[in-house]
Amino acid sequence: MRITIVSRYWPACERSGVTLAAAEHVKMLVNNGHEVSIIGSHSSVSEEKLPVVERIHVQSSGSGALYSPSRIDKSLLRQALAKTRPNLVIIEGWQTAITDAAVDVSNQMNIPILMISHGVSVHPFSFRLVDVMRAIGWIYYRLSVLPKRIKKLSLLTTLDEKAVSNRFYDRDLAHKFGITVSSLVNTPIHLSDKIYKREKRKLQILLIGYYSEIKNQLGALEVIQDLPEIFKLRFIGPRKGAYYQKCLRRVKELELTERVMFSQDDECEISSEIAASYVVLSTSITEVLPITLLEAMANGTPFVATPVGAVPSLGAGIIAANSKEQRNAILALSNDDKLWNQTADIGRLQYQLCYSSKNVYESLCKIIPLAIKESRQR
């Protein structure tokens, strides 16, 4: 079968849950005998080392919000799809000009559409003015654009079937409109060859992600300042942006310079850092299903995370809503060998049962023919 995958970015350009998942999906589909092509809106798509037939760049910009209108030449996208001649178009993620346009163009060309959803972000994350204003910018998309596009899908996947969160708004709309929804989770990317025992771990708390209000690295600094000085905090993410500068200033204000490290992806081996860390911490104010937590589970590392998106449904780690609870959770893991080992073991088991590459591969193999079937029936 000829399959074309449309995603805004590819891993040659950036590390994110969507791009890493898309790359894994390409490899799985090729291994299953499919002929795969990829289309992306960033020029880095032409540099991809993935085992694909075609790599096509269709420039686009904007997200679709009122403050960021989508800009894309749909005729060029149509030409790209005509060149790859897919039996199925797989689209990775909403809210980018190229992925949203791909729904419209594929529908016009009568090509079955499988949307691999990583959630949507159209509701306010908090009652802060900036979050409310951002959500206002997405109102037209949420009430008009997104529902119309969901109706054009053959099948939509979701990272969680039951999680109660606005991040699964597209899943709920699909159910409302009678569009078939299937579960397709993410799988860890960074896996260590070795699982380290508790006594072999560094007393390091690890937080991975770009610097932003959403990832809430400032909250992690509030956690580390109240922990014993033997604990260190390592951030892994691109050292850039205004929020990163805020973090630097806060580290100095709290006199934590000797206890907080800022690393980039290319300066360390992420799998080793996860496997050697004492705890993986997620202080995010919103998420869907973070790959970093799946990576912690796979590497036998306990995690402490906020109860956002599908995180509570992971069935592993310790859920802690604020800095005080997160600090107490880390202290509990530090003071109780049995708790640490039990938390690590449960995470490993959950990974093996639900989130391994084998699980995802088997799910994807079932979803592809189902999407074709649903398209024919419609």
Q: For 168-188, write each residue's pLDDT tens digit.
A: 999 999 999 999 999 999 999
Dihedral sign for Cα 353, 339, 287, 49, please: negative
Compute the average pLDDT of residues 286-298. Answer: 96
Residues 6+ apart with CB under 8 A from 378: 154
Task: Tell whether the model's pLDDT for residue 234 goes beyond 80.
Answer: yes
The pLDDT score that the predictor gives to residue 332 is 98
The pLDDT score that the predictor gives to residue 162 is 93
Please tell me the distance from the alpha carbon of residue 306 to that of residue 159, in angstroms, as a whole number: 17
Please tell me the distance from the alpha carbon of residue 155 to that of residue 160, in angstroms, as a whole number: 15
The pLDDT score that the predictor gives to residue 116 is 97
The pLDDT score that the predictor gives to residue 226 is 93
CB half-sphere exposure, 318, CA atoms < 13 A: 25
Residues 6+ apart with CB under 8 A from 197: none
Share of the chain above pLDDT 90, in %: 90
The torsion of the CA quartet 130, 133, 137, 139, rounded to 10 degrees, works out to 130
**pTM for this predicted structure:** 0.93
* CATH number, domain 198-355, options 3.20.20.70, 3.40.50.720, 3.40.710.10, 3.40.50.2000: 3.40.50.2000
Neighbours of 338 (CB within 10 A): 7
Compute the average pLDDT of residues 137-158. Answer: 98
Q: Which fold has domain 2-187+356-377?
A: Rossmann fold (3.40.50)
The predicted-structure confidence for 333-351, as pLDDT tens digits, reads as follows: 999 999 999 999 999 999 9
Phi, psi of 282 (to 5 degrees): -130, 115
The predicted-structure confidence for 25-84, as pLDDT tens digits, reads as follows: 999 999 999 999 999 998 889 888 899 999 999 999 999 999 999 999 999 999 999 999
Neighbours of 148 (CB within 10 A): 11
Rg (CA), the chain: 21
Which segments of the chain belong to CATH 3.40.50.2000?
Answer: 2-187+356-377, 198-355
Q: What burial class does residue 255 get, using C-beta atoms within 10 Å of its C-beta: 0-12 exposed, 13-18 middle, 19+ buried?
A: exposed
Task: Tell whether the model's pLDDT for residue 232 goes beyond 90.
Answer: yes
